Amino acid sequence: MSPQSVLAALTTGLRSGAIEVVDLTSPLSSATPVIQLPAEFGQTAVFELEEISRYDNRGPAWYWNNFRSGEHTGTHFDAPNHWVTGKDLTDVASVPAGRLIAPAAVLDFSAEAGADPDFLVEVEHVKAWEAENGPLPEGGWLLVRTGWDARSHAQEPFLNADASGPHTPGLSPECARWVAEESPVIGLGVETVGTDAGQAPSFDPAFPCHSSLMGSGKYGLTQLQNLSVLPPTGAVIIAGPLPIVTGSGAPARVLALVERS
């Protein structure tokens, strides 16, 4: 099949509904939850809009805004230079365009995370999924579903913090290292505020997903939604971060293409 006919088949599938476009992006507003670091560290900005004009004397025929946001606010893309282990690697503007479209494996741990918010994915969990569904996709994404997107309406339930810190699911240090160094995927996608579990500051190493993934030149996608409607295999992810020069990441519109029978 020629490249032209492949694209024609894609557009036909999109028009007919045979290929569904699923939005995995959390809407971005001042209510979007943001990560909360210990007080001694710098904090990311809550998303803000500043109105420039709205069909008035500041601009009679147009409405537009300035906005302020952290690079890692809302659904966003982590580039390798986000972490000290990847400080000499690429920024978000340098991510090859071809890597922004890739297949996905969706691993569902919503029941486990529902029973234990500190649930950690181990290498054995991934291996068990592969035994049932086949190997993780070469050059694709490993997406971890935990049901955490149901909490994304507000900061408190999303961070789920107490005196000992946040309690959210994630990967164990060994699994993070395995995904970064041994698995064929280009990155990890999660529904939580960051790629690491809430208790990751106490892990060895601390924040192992960030440390291992960024140091290996891999990527992160966070605060995803609607993973529940994706199949375990077969979906194609389109991740569109803003290409901020020298940026460590960016808010992103993340879509999934899913073939429906």
Annotated active-site residue in 72, 76, 82, 125: 82
Question: How would you label 20-47 residue by residue, b for 16+ Cβ within 10 Å and e otherwise?
Answer: eebebbbebeeebbbbeeeeeeeebebb
Strand partners, 251: 76
Active site residue 167: no
**Residue from 208, 214, 192 nearest 123 by CA:** 208
Token pair of 106 as six digits? 């969706």
The type of residue at 28 is: L
CA distances to 43, 112, 172 from 120, in Å: 26, 9, 5
**Residue from 240, 260, 196 nearest 24 by CA:** 240
- Look at residue 147 and give its three-state secondary structure: coil
DSSP E strand stretches across 69-218: 76-78, 101-108, 120-121, 141-145, 161-162, 165-166, 170-171, 187-190
Specify burial of residue 62 (Cβ count, 10 A radius: 0-12, 13-18, 19+).
exposed
Distance of CA 152 to the CA centre of its chain: 14
Token pair of 36 as six digits? 């909360």
Active site residues: 82
